[in-house]
Structure 1
Amino acid sequence: MGKTAALTVVQKTTIDTLHKEGKTQKVIAKEAGCSQRSVSKHINREAKGRKRCGRKKCTSNRDNRTLERIVKQNPFKNVGEIHKEWTAAGVSASRTTTHRHMQDMGLSCRIPCVKPLLNNRQRQKHLAWAKDKKDQTAAEWSKVMCSDESKFCISFGNQGPRVWRKRGEAQNPCCLRSSVKFPQSVMVWGAMSSAGVGPLCFLRSKVNASIYQDVLEHFMLPAADQLYGDADFIFQQDLAPAHSAKATSTWFKDHGIPVLNWPANSPDLNPIENLWGIVKRKMRYARPNNAEELKATIRATWALITPEQCHRLIDSMPRRIAAVIQAKGAPTKY
């Protein structure tokens, strides 16, 4: 039978804590993320007072706390920089030991998520908005039509797939992923509700209040007829200058369309942001050669969005709001 994997410091602490609470070994193994055999061996070793064999540790608990403080001060440093700062604090350890201690603390190197920067005032508004909407049900959110613009490029950077090829085929045109210095791109406006998606609008120039009102007239109103019929709805938009202009507000009043108040820099609250992500992932393997082919691909992919997908996204609104409240107005996983 193979050896059991070595437990990390975090796992050992979890096992000790749950064991003192009287939890079963099966429950402890599930919570600690290890095998039940590892849990049993650790508990028995601690009960008998047996110590691990092997070389004595070169760092003390105080040294480990210093390392943890260094990482928390700037988690974007690489292992080499952290090791240099740790040894400068008087700790005698190799770079490999530094890396191993960081892993024992439960730290892993990951690609950071990209979220909009929120200042304190925006966070407070974010939180206040969420608290005001916390009792709104998914059925009530189904009356909201969400809208947004998104940029699509011919080149999708590192999102493209890997290629299977033989030796010597690296320069074969069939195995190349094209890149250009200034890739063509298109800006798209779209809308969705729990019933599905509306028609897309490709924007030819920078959007001002006049152009945005044309979009509302020729694309938003038909989308509302398609998704709601004669039923009432509430329109959602972000706080872009063209959206919050006085002329645009007058347009909504003249057409009798209520607009949902919306906090600034809050894409995690807008389900259509996730819909754009779905479309771009589906287009990952597409290779349009020009802007017209790109538009055709976007239209075809948008048409594949099902009402069930939209319904699930709208149903997530209460969970999004709860996440904002829990994060005290900070960006969430959505």
Structure 2
Amino acid sequence: MVRRQLSLNDRGRAIGWLQDGHTQRSVARRLNVSQSVIGRLWQRFRTTNSIQNRSRSGRPRSTTAREDRFLMITALRQRFVTPRRLRDQPRAATGNNVSDQTIRNRLRDQALRCRRPVVRLQLLARHRRAHLDWCRRHIRWNRGQWAETLFTDESRYLLQFNDGRVRVYRRQGERFADVNVV
């Protein structure tokens, strides 16, 4: 059985079927959830006359859905922005003061993770053409000729101190996208 949360639409359909006389088991089978989910939904509907989630204990969210979307869009437009700078933008617009950790949590909820960027030379169209031309000129080389070739662009040499704290916000699978490369 697949575990998933019922949407409000599915909850309403389930309650309608139960009121029409269908069994909890048949409704659960139709919605591909366990019977206990439908049983709890039916019990809650009979006691509260509502299919909405009940309010939960704990601290209320400090950001609204609109602010969460704003943070996500800003992080996608400015991939190398820090949580501290992201925090200042909604504060200026709405006056809402949130912590850096809240910013990180909201971005993580949107599947944006803070990662170290890939460090490589940016290949422009002329670089790609030059690489392709070079490959075409050397396509017929034998092992002896390749043995005398040294590729120096595979090693990283630092001329100045780098603390490595540059971060980029990206989704899974976007590691080598040009906007995420330093």
TM > 0.5 between the two?
no
More strand as a share of residues: 1
TM-score by length of 1: 0.27
TM-score by length of 2: 0.44
